[in-house]
Structure 1
Amino acid sequence: LGTSSTLASLNATFGWHMVIIGPLGTLNFLNLASRYGILIKDGRSLQLLSKVDTVVFDKTGTLTQEQPHVGKLYVCNGYEEDQLLVYAAAAEYKQTHPIALAILEKAEQRGLLWPEIEEAKYEVGYGIKVSLGQELIRVGSVRFMEMEEIAIPPDILKKQQLGYEQGYSFVYVAINNQLGGAIELRATIRPEAKRIINYLQQRHLSMYIISGDHEKPTQKLAEELG
């Protein structure tokens, strides 16, 4: 608008003020929301917000951070915890997925150093195989261990089952043809999640979680969030 048109608009009747200020106010709120990472489809969504009685959350990346954190370490066949982490970190060093980053973070927290890998083969959806000198290291899921015919001791399987009931997941580490142990991974709840859930509960809103994860980890998260 030019100067004359702007002045004419400002001096218009009350009805015209409402027509102009209404959309500008909506755009302002949409802009403020976007600064906090909130994407709103259109202004009508804001108008309907007061009628919302149910909120549905995505789990990973919304209520929890994308990267989990390492919980307990379970070792077997004579290996020690630091050895297990060194093997796992060496295998995952060049990977960028959340599980690899969690393992590397734990190894760094313990001040561990790991050798560079000589050869690696990534099995999508299962795990990774790397060569360290004369040793073949396998890091991955229980299905990967079964596929590679790596025997898992009964006590490790029992700990895995107990962990699943608590909502944890596991990564297994095998050295040559023998299991070295398992790394327990726990979801990292976003710092602000509990505060937001508590606020919505005070407003008597119903809340649900949608997740592609197993039921027990999702249920455990819901319990922790209240």
Structure 2
Amino acid sequence: MKYKSQAISLTYIKNGDSSIISKMLTKEKGLQTFIVKGVRSKKSKKKLSYFEPLRLLNIDADFNARKSLQYLGDATIAVNFDNMKNKMNNSFIGFFIAEISSKVVQENEQNKMLFDFIWKTSNELYSSKITDPNFALKYLINLSRFLGFYPSETEIKKPFFDLESGVFSDKITSFSPFLNKQKTTYLKALINNERILIPQKQKSELLKELLCYYKLHHYNLDGITSHLVIEALRQ
């Protein structure tokens, strides 16, 4: 079945002499894996740069429910970010967001609200003149809303955050992993979308805690390239 869709490029790997296998989040069909033939050849009308992390595209594709690898017919840029290559930190953040997204979204699972959120995130990352230094952390927190384990704000005034139950608490127990008072304060500020300066060491630690939070809620992100993530958070 042929279809047209908006799509967000997430990751790709080389395949053969001139092709790639690209993973994209599509608005119409959810997460899809495509074979893109000949894109690495000089004669290709499609540019390899189209498939870099968080590129926003319009695609023509074929869908076959019996196949795990789909065929991509055409791809064009939907939104052109002039400064995409000029902001190195943003590129690292984009790589991080794309990698996280590719690991938590299920194949063939249409979720237009999640798609619109990631599309908007890419727009914000590459169109803003000044990037929030906590952009990646906020993305992890906001993404959890679409996955069903966004932190409960019912008791947000309490000083600790229980990573396993996803609630704020007035005490730490030995049965569940918790954020300490300082990190909980940072988490509250991020939930409230406040601009807050978090020291680099604490920022890296909070990132690891949030990845643990995902793991506790059945999204294992152990395979991410941590050195790129750490660089992405150095603003």
* TM exceeding 0.5: no
**TM, length-normalised to structure 1:** 0.22
With CA pairs under 8 Å and 6+ residues apart, which has the higher RCO, 1 or 2? 1
**TM, length-normalised to structure 2:** 0.21
- Larger relative helix fraction: 1
